[in-house]
Amino acid sequence: MIRSALIIGALFFSASVSAQTVTYGWEDGATTLGNYGDIEAYNVGEGSPVHSGDRSLKLVDQAESGTPQAFVALITDLNDGDTVDASFWRYDDTAGAAPSARIWAHYITDIDDIDSYGGSASGNYAYGDGLGWDEAMHSWTFDSDGGERVGLVIEVRTYSKPGDTVWIDDLTVTAGDHATIITPAAAVPVPAAVWLFASSLLGFVGFGRRK
Ligand SMILES: [Ca+2]
Ligand SMILES: [Ca+2]
């Protein structure tokens, strides 16, 4: 009876999902999906600001001019008009823009090349408040530009002089369940999550039987 209830629950879960949320906290040691401009990315732990868990992403802006970017998520399989919501926590402890970071995004034109560029998708103009951790967030509406754009890349933009350092943690991306969300670590897409859930149920049932 418990098993049937769980299986019905699993079916309901898989049928009722219309949007998916992927989170990533740099706990596995990865850094970014790619970078633009003169920026250094490190996965750091003890002794560094960490929002949750044991690890975070450290970004050092080394650019004399321009705005370097760290690519922290790629969303593909989007349709025109789809909404993508993304947020991350950023740490800087100085007032003003040096150092600081913004959440931004751009489009790509080649699904196999995160460095392909299909134009800016804008973002949230706010910098951190300079008091430590704060959450940067923005919402985008996907525009394929007649099919030219095939993905949206979420950026951390860093400001504004060589040596300026910020820390990033707890990325969250939400998009329709037909979309593919890729973070610096291999994300578990929804179908895989359902299978993982199902296999854990089988494990649960097996455990019950052994008992
Ligand atoms: Ca973390
Ligand atoms: Ca600052």
Reported as a single tens digit per residue, the pLDDT across 190-211 is 556 666 666 666 665 555 555 4
- Whole-number Å distance, alpha carbon 47 to ligand 1 midpoint, is 13
- Whole-number Å distance, alpha carbon 68 to ligand 2 midpoint, is 16
Mean pLDDT of 132-145: 98
- Whole-number Å distance, alpha carbon 49 to ligand 1 midpoint, is 9
> What token pair was written down for 182?
């890729």
- Transcribe 92-127 into DSSP letters: E-SSSSSSEEEEEEEEES-TT-TT----EEEE--PP
Q: Which ligand is closest to the CA of 169, given by its number? A: 1
- Amino acid 196: pLDDT: 64
pTM of the prediction?
A: 0.80
pLDDT in tens, 47-87: 999 999 999 999 999 999 999 999 999 999 999 999 999 99
Q: For residue 160, say if its preceding peptide bond is cis, omega within 30 degrees of 0.
A: yes
Higher-scoring residue by pLDDT: 181, 188? 181
Length of the chain in terms of residues written: 211
| C-alpha–C-alpha distance, residues 88 and 53, integer Å | 14
Q: Which ligand is closest to the CA of 161, given by its number? A: 2
Residue 173 scores a pLDDT above 50: yes
All domains of the chain in start order, with CATH: 20-187 (2.60.120.260)
